[in-house]
Amino acid sequence: MANQKLATVTNELIESYGNTAKNVINAYRVGNERAVVFMDHSFATALSKAGTRLSTQTRRNAVATEKKITAYYAKGIEMTSANADIVIDKAVELAEKGVVQVAANAGRFEKSTGVTALTTLATAAVPAAKAVTKVAAKIEAQSGVLASKIAGKSVKAKVATAKRAVAKKVVVAKKAVVAKKAAPAPKAA
């Protein structure tokens, strides 16, 4: 059925956007880590320029305070980016499940009403969805390049792959609906 194909393409698009978001989060994480290194270097340079004007105790206190602030900042960046990754994973998962459910419900609706307008619409939408998926894949690739440039070294860019399990989930959902309909209804007492 065309709904399966549209659901598959739509889930590939969702996956690609999720990977793009993760690349942006990775760029945020790496960029902030580089900022921490820069600030540490700048602070050390400032202390060395101060020379003997600062007492040993003042210098020790300044270094200890700067290390604590840097540690809190780095921990905040790590927690924020890790939680953002979790949110993206969950959003992608829920969106994909929603697409599968919509496809299953569309099939159930068509079967019960005999109207095939949804199949026709889904068939017509597949080429446009594939085109949008190609554009999203290019955006995803460029976000990986951006993350690599910010990192200054190779960063693992995520690449969306076709999820064939999506089509199977739609078929399983439709079989469950058909089995429910085929089961005799309980008799009223």
pLDDT (tens place) for every residue of the chain, 189 residues total: 455 588 888 999 999 999 999 999 988 998 898 889 899 999 988 888 887 788 889 888 998 999 999 999 999 999 999 999 999 999 999 999 999 898 888 888 888 888 888 888 888 888 888 899 899 999 998 888 888 888 776 545 444 444 444 444 444 444 443 444 444 544 444
The Cβ-side half-sphere exposure at 184, using a 13 Å CA radius, reads: 3
Burial of 140 (0-12, 13-18, 19+ CB in 10 A): buried
Least Cα distance to 6 among 163, 105, 129, 118 occurs for 129
pTM to 2 decimal places: 0.69
Q: How far apart are CA 103 and CA 127, in angstroms?
A: 17
Find where tokens 């399990």 sit.
Answer: 165
Tell which residue, 95, 92, 91, 77, has the closest CA to residue 34.
Answer: 77
Rounded to an integer, what distance in angstroms lies between the CA atom of residue 183 and that of residue 181? 5
